[in-house]
Amino acid sequence: MAPRVETMTKTRKLDRKSTQQLMRLGAHMAALYPLALLIWDYYQANLGADPVREILLRTGEPALVFLILSLAVTPLTILFGWKQLHPLRRTFGLYGFMYVALHFTTFIWLDYGLNLQFIWDGVVEQNFVLVGFAAFLLLLPLAMTSNKWSQRRLGKRWKTLHKLVYVIILLALIHFWWLVKNVYYMPFFYSAVVTLALLVRWQPVKQKALRFQRRFRNRKSGRSAPTS
């Protein structure tokens, strides 16, 4: 009987590991797809009448999406117990930074020709540029410390530093709203997702969600939920 239990345990571990590997692979493929499509459309001359604006939009929106996905990992774990998603939080965050860096590079290079005076004027004279630039500066230390060495080195300060992600996503949403000038529905959708993700993190909602998840798991496994 013992060898059978041991075999089942090893099988579950292998299944869990395989699932995590497949999820990581899927995350990488999904994250690189917008960039691959952008490069393809660039070489096929499919970027429309204003290629620079198209590149700005097609690097800025994935940046926002992956930052939101990074934020959403914890709420999804709270709601559904999907702990296997946890390693993807860092992956999504780093891909978000990659697209932010591409977005920023497009702005200073393709749009403003690396002219420091033009760049400075653009930052101080246009609110959406100023907000986006602030989000980029705040994101830099998070990207630089998204590794285990920094986490050990900074200790409790690491968590405090990485709480900047809430401010960054708020600034990124404002930047996106002003950039697209309310011409389509996606800013509403992204704002709703961020609001829901933050609501689930709110302690009263979080505790209720965890209790519901615990009762659901107990019912599924045939155990009675604790009364306390």
**pLDDT value of position 98:** 95
The packing angle between helices 2-43 and 51-80, to 10°, is 160
Tell me, what's the pLDDT at 105?
Answer: 93
Structure confidence at residue 224 (pLDDT): 47
Please tell me the predicted confidence (pLDDT) of residue 198: 87
44 occurs within a structural domain? no
Q: CB count, 10 Å around CB of 181?
A: 9
CA distance 13 to 5: 12
Which of these, 35, 33, 22, lies nearest to 85 by C-alpha position?
A: 22
Tokens representing residue 114 in the block: 């690396």
The pLDDT of residue 22 is 87
**Domain presence at residue 16:** no
| Termini Cα distance of the chain | 35
223 occurs within a structural domain = no
Looking at residue 225, its pLDDT comes to: 46
List, in order, residues 6 or more apart from 166 with CB less than 8 Å away: 71, 198
pLDDT along the chain (228 residues), means of 10: 49 65 89 95 89 91 93 84 81 94 92 84 85 92 89 86 90 88 77 89 78 69 50
pTM for the full predicted model: 0.83
Query: Can you tell me the distance from the alpha carbon of 17 to that of 20, in angstroms, rounded to the nearest whole number?
Result: 5
In a domain, 43, yes or no: no
Picking from 219, 200, 221, the residue whose alpha carbon sits closest to that of residue 210 is: 200
Residue 183 maps to a domain: yes
Q: Domain tally for the chain?
A: 1
Domain membership flag for residue 173: yes
Q: Which residues form the domain of 67? A: 50-210
In a domain, 163, yes or no: yes
Q: What is the pLDDT of residue 103?
A: 94
DSSP of 189-220? HHHHHHHHHHHHHSHHHHHHHHHHHHHHHHHH
Asked whether residue 73 is assigned to any structural domain, the reply reads: yes
